[in-house]
Amino acid sequence: MKSDLDRLMSERNLDGLWVTGPGLHNPAMSYFTGLAHLTRADLVKPRGQEPVLYYYPMERDNAIATGLRTKNINDYDPLRLLREARGNRARAMAARLKLSFEDLGLRGRVGVYGTVDAALPLAVAKELHSHMPEVTLVGEGEDTLLIAARATKDEAEIERIRQVGRATTAVVARTAEYLTTRRVRGDTLLREDGQGLTVRDVKARISAWCSEFGLEDSEGVIFAIGRDGGVPHSSGKPDDLIRTGQPIVFDFFPQESGGGYFYDITRTWCLDHAPQEVEELYRHVQAAYQLALDSFTPGMLCRFAQRRVCEYFEAQGHPTLLSNTTTEVGYVHPLGHGVGLNLHESPVFSDVEQNNDRLEPGMVFTLEPGLYYPERGMGVRLEDTLVIGRDARIEVLAEYPMDLVLPMRKAARAGTSRARPATRPSAKPARTSKRATGRAKPRRR
Amino acid sequence: MKSDLDRLMSERNLDGLWVTGPGLHNPAMSYFTGLAHLTRADLVKPRGQEPVLYYYPMERDNAIATGLRTKNINDYDPLRLLREARGNRARAMAARLKLSFEDLGLRGRVGVYGTVDAALPLAVAKELHSHMPEVTLVGEGEDTLLIAARATKDEAEIERIRQVGRATTAVVARTAEYLTTRRVRGDTLLREDGQGLTVRDVKARISAWCSEFGLEDSEGVIFAIGRDGGVPHSSGKPDDLIRTGQPIVFDFFPQESGGGYFYDITRTWCLDHAPQEVEELYRHVQAAYQLALDSFTPGMLCRFAQRRVCEYFEAQGHPTLLSNTTTEVGYVHPLGHGVGLNLHESPVFSDVEQNNDRLEPGMVFTLEPGLYYPERGMGVRLEDTLVIGRDARIEVLAEYPMDLVLPMRKAARAGTSRARPATRPSAKPARTSKRATGRAKPRRR
């Protein structure tokens, strides 16, 4: 949490933080500024002091609205600095940083953060080194202090993610409603104009619904049918037709418009009816979900949960990463990941001994077991976003039914080319148990 | 253009390029991969060779769909590398890069690019230096080789930006249509439910229309009324009511969904009628637009166009950056900027002697003069995105009328609280000339 920053700076021997880049789609900056329309800004936080936001005057209103201490970059006459740097912008930026650091009395080790082109920090670090040898810009790699601070969320952040989850599941519900009310010709769903409904059509609607709910699908949407659903990150072929009886992996991970908090949910759906082998995969995935959910305890190593799910899947005869670290069938990815201003953040669930991430109160993370058999034309994944509360309760932040089979509304059926009984023998929906819907529940002890 | 890459690498003494980060919202990566859903990938291009895309196997379909040479990251056993690096992910990444570079016979100076957290490249550069001293990772700052290559667009890129422009102006037209068909109470536009229409309402609709047209407003939307329009990058107060007779600066700069090419357009609108002092500002801005458009010639220094517009505005009595580099009233920003996979890229138009950017065939850039008087409650900006063709023709990529006044449809008027004549004396629309609408035209010589 933000209140951990000074402690983490001490632990990591950092005297200051420099965050750079835009105000939107920049988690490190948004963590301090909120979703502020800043084309470009700098934020400097000396240890033990409040951060200062440096803004360009055209964006002063947006800067001031952040509520942070602010300073106009023009006060440093950046055009003069650029002239003195003979047009070398990295050098001019280093010169301006030097003035800021001096104003704040900052020297020593300064961590560097912010979503920018990689070419910039390398160049500025080199220039600053000659301008101000008493400061060292430190790149912390991926496991930065900000990632560590952001791994636990405060109440306001959890509430925001819960709101994103509500909007997200509203879009999922609308998608299900849309699909199940389509007319069907043969086994193909139809658009309003009578043409076959495609993955592209569905994604366009999902995007529009996102906007309506204040979300953006900035990382895309996975809506993958059959074989594609068997390749975990295949996002689905745009021209694929939506058909009944085929497994659809719908992995939906929008964020607040402008680059804010994410939510992440996956459902696997079969419209009208499900093939028996998909139902079997589904049961294994659902059991793994429940097994993992029941195992989560504050303080546990995340990799133990991954290990447990691998062992369960292997007992059911599926290959997993446990016995083959490069398998591309069976269970091929970690059990979950932290969710926040990044879609993927701490904690991580990889089962490698170097992964010492543990579940802690305030963490928000996904639970997403899956099984993948592209050559058999199928994949199944089920995913929710959970929080561990201060009281150690595990809670799904936004509940949504887990049913595999979505029955088509009978009145919508228009198919004539292939006769089919209204209910097929294999159309038994695999019902999820009440617990498997991820209802908030007290921890068993 | 892409065909310039090897030449630019020679000029800059670079033996290779390393591009890292996701496939979406990452201009340096998208430039090679297109809009590929890759959570994380690396691309390495030795000079004189085709680039190789390194992908994680979960995303192999998306990687292969790019048409690039590809290699599965798992072939390097990244889990083993992470173990050997004792969990230090930057070190493991450096070890993997070393293997890639050795496979490709790459050594020497390697430029680093890609939208990632600044902490990563600094850490990897440090680690790689000890793993592979025969390679130096080079940060080129902001004026990178890729920015230089991307400053001129090939025909396929220009056509894509033109398509984005068509979608963008379609959303602008829909916005105008929506506003002018609202009912009005007093001078306030009304929503369907009879409540006052706010900036928030309008932006929500714009976002939804974006999705419909395959766009995303990833950098936000400026819809700024009155005083806010006088602060160039104020994005508008969400709760502000839309009223007739007030200047609205609508600056709209969406990109292809997923982080592709941008388009950028600004119109200043007064609904129903315009105050006389806004009309006067508008005439000055429109004249500056035309003056600049007429001055553009391939080979000209961009800063000369900025200088000329400053001189014109000063002759009309407006402060500009020419006589006061920190003015916040009058004309306070550069005349334009390159547009491509970044909203702001080369060329730049700042009037500083270090700016040697020149207009060249294939460049796509904005022309956007504006005048700002927040204390007088107004700002005016007019902007289009232009291209210089191979034949030296200057063309607005997507034309849209420039009218200041948007007449309200008479039938929509529901106001009773303030009597007003159907046509006010000040309601003369300031018509744009045919040339001022930016119609494609042959260069005068």
Q: Render pLDDT for B344-365 as a digit per residue (tens, 0 to 9).
A: 999 999 988 878 999 999 999 9
- Quote the CA–CA distance of B291 and B128 in Å, as a whole number: 52
What are A91's strand-pairing partners? none
- Quote the CA–CA distance of A104 and A56 in Å, as a whole number: 19
Tell me, what's the pLDDT at A235?
A: 87
Q: What is the DSSP letter of A40?
A: S
In DSSP notation, B289-342 reads HHHHHHH--TT-BHHHHHHHHHHHHHHTT--BTTT-TT--SBB-S-S-EE-SSS
Q: Which CATH superfamily is domain B2-148 in?
A: Creatinase/prolidase N-terminal domain (3.40.350.10)
What are B190's strand-pairing partners? B196
Q: Is B231 within 8 Å of A61 when comparing Cβ atoms?
A: yes
CA angle, corner B7, sides to B4 and B10, nearest 5? 145
Contacts of B167 in chain A (CB under 8 A): none
Cα B299 from chain centroid (whole Å): 23
What are B383's strand-pairing partners? B266
Whether the pLDDT of residue A430 is over 50: the answer is no
Residues listed for chain A:
445
Give residue-wise pLDDT tens across range A85-115.
988 999 999 999 999 999 999 999 999 999 9
What are A243's strand-pairing partners? A188
H/E element, B145: helix B145-150
Contacts of A259 in chain B (CB under 8 A): 218
**Chain B residue with Cα closest to A114:** B117
CA angle, corner B84, sides to B78 and B88, nearest 5? 80
Q: What is the DSSP letter of B262?
A: B
The residue ranges of DSSP E strands in A340-435, in sequence order, are 345-348, 364-367, 370-373, 378-381, 384-388, 394-396, 405-406
**Test the A interface: residue of B84, B146, B211 with most A CBs within 10 Å:** B211
**Cα dist. A185→A189, A250, A414, A419 in Å?**
6, 23, 6, 10
Which of B57, B119, B214 minimises the CB distance to A140?
A: B119
Q: How far off is chain A from B253, nearest CA to CA, in Å? A: 13
Match 């290559």 to its residue by tokens: B149
Contacts of A14 in chain B (CB under 8 A): none
Tell me, what's the pLDDT at B77?
A: 94
Tell me, what's the pLDDT at A207?
A: 87
Provide the residue-wise pLDDT of chain B in tens; the chain has 445 residues: 999 999 999 999 999 999 999 998 899 999 999 989 898 999 999 999 999 999 998 889 899 999 999 999 999 999 899 989 988 999 999 999 999 999 999 999 999 999 999 999 999 999 999 989 999 999 999 889 999 999 999 999 999 999 999 999 999 999 999 999 999 999 999 999 999 999 999 998 998 889 889 898 888 899 999 999 998 878 899 999 999 999 999 999 999 988 899 999 999 999 999 999 999 999 999 999 999 999 999 999 999 999 999 999 999 999 999 999 889 899 999 999 999 999 999 999 998 887 899 999 999 999 999 999 999 999 999 999 999 998 989 999 999 999 999 999 865 555 444 434 433 333 333 333 333 333 333 333 3
Give residue-wise pLDDT tens across range B197-251.
999 999 989 988 898 898 988 888 999 999 999 988 788 999 999 999 999 999 9
Q: Is A207 within 8 Å of B211 when comparing Cβ atoms?
A: yes
**B422-441 b/e with 16+ CB inside 10 Å = b?**
eeeeebeebebeeebebeee
Q: Contact at 8 Å (CB) between B40 and B22?
A: yes
Q: Contact at 8 Å (CB) between A306 and A367?
A: no
Around Cβ A410, how many Cβ atoms within 10 Å? Answer: 8
- Quote the CA–CA distance of B145 and B141 in Å, as a whole number: 10
Which of A115, A139, A354 minimises the CB distance to B122?
A: A139
Give residue-wise pLDDT tens across range B51-67.
999 999 888 989 999 99
Q: How far off is chain B from A282, nearest CA to CA, in Å? A: 20
Backbone phi, psi, residue A121, to 5°: -60, -35
Q: Contact at 8 Å (CB) between A288 and A192?
A: no
Cβ within 8 Å of residue B427, ≥6 positions away: B272, B273, B274, B405, B407
- Quote the CA–CA distance of B306 and B368 in Å, as a whole number: 10
DSSP 3-state assignment of B44?
Answer: strand
Give A192: exposed, middle or buried? Use CB within 10 Å, 0-12, 13-18, 19+: exposed
Q: Is A59 within 8 Å of B20 when comparing Cβ atoms?
A: no
Q: Which two tokens stand for residue A34?
A: 């909120």
CATH of A151-437, one of 3.40.50.300, 1.10.4080.10, 3.40.50.2000, 3.90.230.10: 3.90.230.10
H/E element, A248: strand A247-252
Q: Is A326 within 8 Å of B57 when comparing Cβ atoms?
A: yes
**Chain A residue with Cα closest to B140:** A119
Query: Residue ranges per domain, chain A?
Result: 2-148, 151-437
State the average pLDDT for chain A: 90
Q: Contact at 8 Å (CB) between A87 and B303?
A: no
For the stretch A301-305, contacts whose Cβ atoms lie closer than 8 Å and that sit 24 or more positions apart, written own/partner, are A301/A355, A301/A356, A301/A357, A301/A358, A302/A335, A302/A336, A302/A347, A302/A348, A302/A349, A302/A355, A302/A357, A302/A358, A302/A359, A303/A349, A303/A350, A303/A351, A303/A352, A303/A353, A303/A355, A303/A357, A305/A335, A305/A336, A305/A349
H/E element, B110: strand B108-113
**Chain B residue with Cα closest to A214:** B204
- Quote the CA–CA distance of A292 and A308 in Å, as a whole number: 7
DSSP 3-state assignment of A264?
Answer: coil
Q: Residue A19 corresponds to which amino acid?
A: V
In DSSP notation, B70-109 reads EEEGGGG-HHHHHHHTTT-HHHHHHHHHHHHHHHHT--EE
Around Cβ B315, how many Cβ atoms within 10 Å? Answer: 9
